[in-house]
A and B are shown apart, each in its own frame.
Chain A
Amino acid sequence: MHPLPLLSMIVFLPLLGAVSILLSGAKRSANARWVALWVSLVTFVLSLVLWGRYDPTLGGFQLENTMQWISYLGLTYHVGVDGISLPFILLTTLLVPLCILASWKGIKKRTADYMMAFLILETFVLGSFVALDILLFYIFFEGVLIPMFFIIGIWGGPHRIYAAFKFFLYTLLGSGLMLLAILYIYFEVGSSIPLALESVFDPKVQTWLWLAFFASFAIKIPMWPFHTWLPDVHVEAPTGGSMILAGILLKMGGYGFLRFSLPLCPDASADFAPFVFILSIIAIIYASFVALAQTDIKKLVAYSSVAHMGFVTLGIFTMDAAGISGAITQMVSHGMISAALFLCVGVMYERTHTRKIAEFGALVYRMPRYAVIFMLFILASLGLPGTSGFVGEFLVLLGTYQVNIYAATMASLAMILGAAYALWLYQRIIFGPPTACTFTDLNGRELISFSPLLVGVLLLGLYPAPLFKVTEGAVMKLVGFSSLLGKS
């Protein structure tokens, strides 16, 4: 029997959902919400099935689907998963239903269009994580911009147009340069990623390729000094948009580094590693200081994302098993934590229509449930042991320590700053002097949207083994030797 193309189903189911919303009449927004929610939930369930069918002992790409596409371009539709892409697929399919739940009441105009944009976005994001054809990857990677442009531009805040343009053009510039690298690889070895991964490029060519890929992924993830688009976009984007942006779109940069920069340009990556270390350390320290000075909660969380992504780039370019596993864990963990934090901000924004820290205070009396949940995520964000944030940052530091002791020291010290801005934010909002407005505590829908993230953060913090089991083989392959933390 021909096996079902599970992976393609996961990728294109959301698109199918979007088309069905389009055909069922855009006027009925309630209908659109439910369709979007169910479609994304089914996608999530399918991705769990995918996880079950994925065999970590085999290594390499699995569950591949291949189809001839445009023969004159040498383009094939080729998708598959390995240990690096699987965690991101799960993260994406987990977050999208939550984003849809988060937008349930907040999005009042053009709800059907919004849901369609989200489902199309999900297809593009998933596609870029599973694409094994270099042009296919680029199509998905760049396609993400279109729905996101509309999400920010139509449903965003007062300066949404500026933010939408900044996001689109900044990212397009980066991916344009990547397109050059892709064209070169395409011209030299063809469009298959597995084939490209096996080829060895001349060191001089590697340098150029690395820089071209770096332009795209450093903007996407984003690294200092290419991060300036992120705070603007986060502040203007609607809650769901911010969640998906911080939760998943940033990870596409990290994924790109792991998928392309490291294996395609190993020599160049080694050469540029100190440079990346410096940028990462600056990002961690600088973004933490900037976060301390913010008056807008969303901007603060946005800058904390820049700092956390600093750890990711640090971990990736240690080119060490622990560092890379740490970076992946950090990305998955940050995906959940930042989504949850933006959800926390969104919950308050829906009630008060403000995000100014100064306008909140003494929420612990009025919203005890909210206070507890917010605290857990704040603690996870600063890397408290027992939460996923700790596992990621610890492994990154462990990896960095083996490579560059100074970088590790600086990064560890910077973690104190992370604790400072996070705790100070919590103190001001939850315990500060009471303000006049009255709030209702979290309702059932909000609790439901928080709970999977909470479970995920704690599970990954207390028992990260399932994640490592998935990533281990791929990470080994990436670093090219076979001992992760003493295990075989």
Chain B
Amino acid sequence: MFELYPPDFLRILPELILSGMALFILTMGAVKKAEFCGHITTLSFLLAGGALFLSHKMGKAGIGFEGQILEDDFSYVGKILILIASYGAFSLSVFPLIREKLLSFEYAALTLLATTGMLLMMGANDFINLFVGLEMQGLSLYVLAALNRHETKTAEAALKYFILGALGTVFYLYGAGFLYGFSGSTNFGVLAAAIHMDASSLPLGLYVGTLLIVSALCFKIAAVPFHMWTPDVYEGCPTPVVTFIATAPKVVGVLVLLRLLFYPFMAVYAQWVPLLLALSLVSMVVGTFAALVQTNLKRFLAYSTIGQMGYVLLGIASGPQEGIQAVLMYISLYLVMVLGVFGCVLCLQSKKVGGIQTLEDLSGLSKFHPRLAFLLALFMFSLAGIPPFAGFFSKFYLLKAAISAELYFFATLGILISVVAAAYYLRIIKIMYFDKRDELTSDFYGVLSSQAVIVMGLCGGISLFFCLFSDPFFKLIHHAAVVCAG
């Protein structure tokens, strides 16, 4: 029988706080205004962050709940990133949601529940536990995606998201079933030991299971060929929700992939590396070339995400330690830049319909809102990987890992693709700075909430000055990578 230790609860304190607060909001939602729930949500993120910090400081790392959860430096860093992403996305979204009359207490509660799910995924040490987290965040996000359900496009996008997400879940369950069938356990540690024991004569089922689970996670991070939902969801769903979908779930997907590949699946390393390289290659190519021809801003961002995920997969395939470190850095800086980009997009609204639609809506921005244009240009240069901005360092680090893993071909290809990618990131800058436009087709909402301004300022500051103050950040990531590499 389970015996419950208080320290175990301390380990999942952030999750407890977030889910408790979500329930509180659900009850209060009936009587209080949505803005109130927004404040409660902010408060719960702060509390969860504090709890995370405390439980880490008190040295509660280790395995808890009889092997169900695993808390270490890696999951600590992962949880920090998730909380930052969720909080950032939420704080950017509040004002736009109020404007579009979409803010409701459900939004706040679902955000918190999705975040709880992601934290659970991050701390999972068991396929069942991971599944619970995965579904918790997945289901919350599907509902969020349908927030503006009266809009046909949104309804369609949400449905697509749900159906393809469900397909991903099926992949996951089938794969986990295979793994259970051939190893007799759903626990990561047991599985790792089982695979490691006789890595020479592994049953085919284990490979199939690995393949299926990797595919399921690739659905979540939108790697080609599991990317089909991304452009439609980005385009159709309300931008505030897309901000959330584009940040936290991507981060958690990548981190869980890292955890699985370098822990239970480490022994079949040689089998999944070619798989990831192939996925990386097609993601880079498809994402980048498709982004070149987009005219819709959010579709453009979707394809650019797909292209970026190609680089992440290349980093993962570059092997333990170096690769993990590079991926952690890449995904954290990517998170910062994407939050910033969406922050800029959320500041604008087209005069015709709610939220700006096409890339052309950005023209004249440098004349009318120089600061916003500067910020967006900064993020674009950074995403394109031009020095001295943050994006360059993450790309450099990633390619260095690839070179040290002797993946010369893929590193070369990554660089060549990044030149093509620069073309479309520059296009945004061109539209903002070079195209002459006497009046704006888009409208500026003015400043968002003060929290949103701080979030965007931080994102901009990190993108610009990362090269100056990066050592503490490297230190944190380095520890996490060491732990993850085992």
Chain A residues near B (Cβ < 8 Å): 26, 69-73, 135, 138-139, 142-143, 145-146, 149-150, 153-154, 160-161, 164-165, 168-169, 172-173, 176-177, 179-180, 183-184, 186-187
Contact = CB atoms under 8 A, between A and B. Distances in A.
Contacts of B411: 180, 183
Contacts of B419: 169, 172-173, 176
Contact of A183 (B403, B435, B467): B403
A179 B434 contact: no
A161 B387 contact: no
Given A139-B387, A153-B434, A160-B434, A187 B400 contact: yes
A176 B418 contact: yes
B403 A184 contact: yes
Among B387, B422, B434, chain A packs the most CB atoms within 10 A around the CB of B387
Given A139-B392, A142-B387, A70 B430 contact: no
15 contacts: A70-B393, A70-B467, A70-B470, A72-B471, A72-B475, A73-B396, A165-B426, A165-B430, A169-B423, A172-B386, A173-B416, A176-B415, A176-B416, A180-B415, A183-B403
A146 B378 CA distance: 10
B386 A161 contact: no
A188 to B, nearest CB: 10
Contact of A153 (B370, B415, B430): B430
Contact of B415 (A139, A142, A179): A179
Report the 4 A-B pairs with minimum CB-CB distance, sorted nearest first: A72-B474, A139-B387, A176-B415, A153-B434
Interface in B414-434: 415-416, 418-419, 422-423, 426, 429-430, 433-434
Among B422, B435, B478, chain A packs the most CB atoms within 10 A around the CB of B422
B330 to A, nearest CB: 14
Among B370, B386, B404, B471, chain A packs the most CB atoms within 10 A around the CB of B386
Contact of B397 (A26, A73, A143, A146): A73
Contacts of B434: 153-154, 160-161, 164
Contacts of B430: 153, 161, 164-165
Contacts of B397: 73
B20 interface: no
B368 to A, nearest CB: 13
A183 B403 CA distance: 7
Contacts of B386: 142-143, 145-146, 172
A486 B98 CA distance: 82
Contacts of A26: 370
Interface of B: 370, 381, 386-388, 392-393, 396-397, 399-400, 403-404, 408, 411-412, 415-416, 418-419, 422-423, 426, 429-430, 433-435, 467, 470-471, 474-475, 478
A241 to B, nearest CB: 14
Contacts of A173: 416, 419
Nearest to B416: A176
A73 B398 CA distance: 12
B433 A153 contact: yes
A72 B400 contact: no
Contacts of B435: 161
A138 B387 contact: yes
Contact of A168 (B388, B393, B416, B426): B426
Contacts of B404: 187
A145 B384 CA distance: 13
Contact of B403 (A70, A153, A154, A187): A187
Contacts of A169: 419, 422-423, 426
B479 to A, nearest CB: 11
Contact of A172 (B388, B403, B422, B471): B422
B387 A143 contact: yes
Contacts of A149: 426, 429
A112 B399 CA distance: 37
Given A26-B370, A165-B430, A168-B422, 19 more contacts: A70-B474, A72-B470, A73-B393, A73-B396, A139-B387, A146-B381, A161-B430, A169-B422, A173-B416, A173-B419, A176-B418, A179-B399, A180-B399, A180-B408, A180-B412, A183-B399, A184-B403, A187-B400, A187-B403
Contacts of B418: 176
A165 B430 CA distance: 9
Nearest to A135: B396
Contacts of B474: 70-73
A292 to B, nearest CB: 33
Among A149, A153, A172, chain B packs the most CB atoms within 10 A around the CB of A172
A26 B435 CA distance: 20
A146 B384 CA distance: 12
B120 to A, nearest CB: 31
Contacts of A150: 433
B334 to A, nearest CB: 18
Nearest to A177: B415
